[in-house]
Amino acid sequence: MAWPKIIDIGGIKVPVDSWAELKEAIQEFGPAGITSVVEDSSGQRAETNGATSSPSGLNHGDRTLLIQFIDAAERGLLTSQLSQALGKKGKGVRPALERWSQKIGLVTAEGITAFEPIKRFDGRGFRLTDHHRRMGASMLGRPMQP
């Protein structure tokens, strides 16, 4: 295994030169905050923890949906938009949203929901709660819009 490795801690890339340094970083910041990135000789990036290669550890589709929720703020997203993104329709959208929020790490405990139903003039949908919207923005490394 080639050293040095580069680990991503909250969007900051830090080189580590040994397993001891990596263990020390995990002890200091916790395993959830670190995505270990290995650079091979061709400059290609490969994740060592099975995650994707985006800075926040989200795949493109998950990242895009989270950005849409954050940008939509109080207006939320219509179920028609969500059914396209999640591949579910009607009453299947809510459970699919709950599974998605757990998959990306937005919700980590059972029985907690990150979404509130909304009713707009153009249809029904869901929005992120204020806390989870701030958390999602933090996951993406984006400042919250006032």
Look up residue 61 and give its two tokens. 């589709």
Closest C-alpha among 56, 70, 47 to residue 129? 70
pTM: 0.60
Average per-residue pLDDT in the chain? Answer: 77
Which residue ranges make up each domain of the chain?
5-47, 60-140
E strands along 40-113, which residues? 45-47, 77-78
> Looking at residues 6-11, what average pLDDT do you find?
69
CATH number listed for the domain at residues 60-140: 1.10.10
Closest C-alpha among 30, 9, 122 to residue 72? 122
Residue 117 has pLDDT above 90, yes or no: yes
Question: Is there a contact between 63 and 141 (Cβ–Cβ < 8 Å)?
Answer: no
Residue 71 has pLDDT above 70, yes or no: yes
Q: What digits encode the pLDDT tens for the residues 11-61?
A: 667 777 777 877 777 777 666 666 555 544 444 444 444 333 344 567 888
pLDDT of residue 44: 44
pLDDT of residue 32: 62
More reliable by pLDDT, 78 or 26: 78
Question: Is there a contact between 115 and 74 (Cβ–Cβ < 8 Å)?
Answer: no
